[in-house]
A = this chain, B = another copy of it.
């Protein structure tokens, strides 16, 4: 019988090839699939990736690893600060960057994962983001037409998962993960805790297993904090 469970990140990323388009969940370093990113960084022969991710990691964590290896050809993100190597590659022209409003980025993933190829959104109307895009007015307000995204592989990180691929995320580590899971031709989920099918309450699952093709339990998550802010 078909088994979605794989042993580890190395096995999970099998089939990812140079030139592919990947979606990677996370907001900043929160909820990123750190095990799969590390596994990809360990295969520097995989190059020319287009990565759809809200952010681009920091110099020594997350997507920063892939940037350091020059495995990424193009980033599609809403915000890409906090990363010197990124800045260097972008300014030198080695790295292509497509900046997209965060809500449009989210909706492009969700729409792609829901079989909607294009939609109208108000974000970016009247700005350079709207250049070359169709404008239409609804109820007196202007909207631009945006096309949705699908990926060759979507890589997400969840809190809990089961052997059927059902996922539950924790707190704000949910972010882009569920919608990117929807939009993957193949979707890989790494989870902190993997349980048998039937152990998760079907009412509490965030991502239905139909969207997930491979799943594994990662060990010893670092979960680095970007802006540790505490009160006295």
Closest to A106 in B: B114
User: Could you tell me the distance in whole angstroms from the C-beta of A172 to the nearest C-beta in chain B?
Assistant: 10
Q: Does A180 contact B (CB under 8 A)?
A: no
Q: Does A138 contact B (CB under 8 A)?
A: yes
Cβ proximity bits A99-124 to B, threshold 8 Å, 1 near / 0 not:
00000000100010011111111100
> Interface size of A by Cβ–Cβ distance < 8 Å?
24
Q: Does A220 contact B (CB under 8 A)?
A: no
Mostly helix, strand, loop or mixed at chain A's interface? mixed
Candidates B119, B122, B141, B202; contact of A119 at CB < 8 Å: B119
Q: A138-B147, A147-B138, A203-B168 are in contact. Are A118 and B115 (CB under 8 A)?
A: no
Residues of B contacting A139 in the complex (Cβ-Cβ under 8 angstroms): 117
Copies of this chain present in the complex amount to 2
Expressed in whole angstroms, the Cα–Cα distance for A119 and B116 within the complex equals 7
User: Could you tell me the distance in whole angstroms from the C-beta of A124 to the nearest C-beta in chain B?
Assistant: 13
Which A residues, 135 to 187, have Cβ-Cβ distances below 8 Å to chain B? 136, 138-139, 141, 143, 147, 168-171
Candidates B107, B115, B169; contact of A114 at CB < 8 Å: B107
Residues of B contacting A119 in the complex (Cβ-Cβ under 8 angstroms): 111, 116, 118-120
Expressed in whole angstroms, the Cα–Cα distance for A170 and B118 within the complex equals 32
Residues of B contacting A118 in the complex (Cβ-Cβ under 8 angstroms): 119-120, 136, 138, 143
Which A residues, 65 to 117, have Cβ-Cβ distances below 8 Å to chain B? 107, 111, 114-117
Q: Does A199 contact B (CB under 8 A)?
A: no
Q: Does A204 contact B (CB under 8 A)?
A: yes
Candidates B117, B120, B138, B143; contact of A143 at CB < 8 Å: B117
User: Could you tell me the distance in whole angstroms from the C-beta of A66 to the nearest C-beta in chain B?
Assistant: 28
Q: A119-B118, A120-B116, A136-B118 are in contact. Are A203 and B171 (CB under 8 A)?
A: yes
User: Chain A residues in contact with chain B, CB under 8 A?
Assistant: 107, 111, 114-122, 136, 138-139, 141, 143, 147, 168-171, 202-204
Question: Other CB < 8 Å A-B pairs besides A117-B120, A119-B120, 15 of them?
Answer: A107-B114, A115-B121, A116-B119, A116-B120, A116-B121, A117-B141, A117-B143, A118-B119, A118-B120, A118-B136, A168-B203, A169-B203, A170-B203, A203-B204, A204-B204
